Structures are given as C-alpha cells and as structure tokens.
Amino acid sequence: MNEKKYPLSKAEYGVYLGHISDRQGTAYNVPFTLKFRKPFDIPALKSAVETVISNHPNLNSRFAADKKRRDLQRTFRGTD
C-alpha cells in the first residue's frame, strides 16, 4: 500500500481540530445500519466500493501528526 502525505488546508485543519476536541462526535461520521430484503452479490458490492475508493483517494485518507508533530493528511492507495 502506497502512502502519500500532504499538509492540511485551513479547512482540513478545522475539521481535524473539531475531531480532536470531540472524539465522540458524529459531525462527519454518521453510523447507520442497512437491512436488505433480498440477497445480493457481496463480492460485487465489495468490488464496487473498492472501485469508488480507488478513484477518489480522499475516501481512503486520514488526518494524523507526523514525528515532528506536523498535522498531515495521509492518503493511502489500495483498499487493504
């Protein structure tokens, strides 16, 4: 898996600070459950999700600080 690191924009830094100040908050992560009435093709769903993630790296990224305590966006290639 390849990792790329980018400095945070001002908007990303604001989101990051909001998360750090309220780690239990769900402003950007809303959990939910789906109930399907009919069976569906799980491998096809997995493939579709992996395709979307591979085409939109921001869906496979996170904010973190590096060893020098600089806040960064880390984007990962691959879906492992």
* pLDDT-derived band at 15, boundaries 50, 70, 90: confident
Which region, left, alpha or beta, applies to residue 79 given φ > 0 means left and ψ of -120 to 50 means alpha? alpha
Q: Where are the domains of the chain?
A: 2-23+35-70
- Tell me the mean pLDDT in the region 34-63: 87
Q: Counting beta carbons within 10 angstroms of the beta carbon of residue 71, is it exposed (0 to 12), middle (13 to 18) or buried (19 or more)?
A: middle
Whole-number Cα distances in Å, 80 to 1, 28, 53, 54, 63: 8, 22, 11, 11, 18
Per-residue confidence (pLDDT) for residue 79, from 0 to 100: 47
Per-residue confidence (pLDDT) for residue 46, from 0 to 100: 93
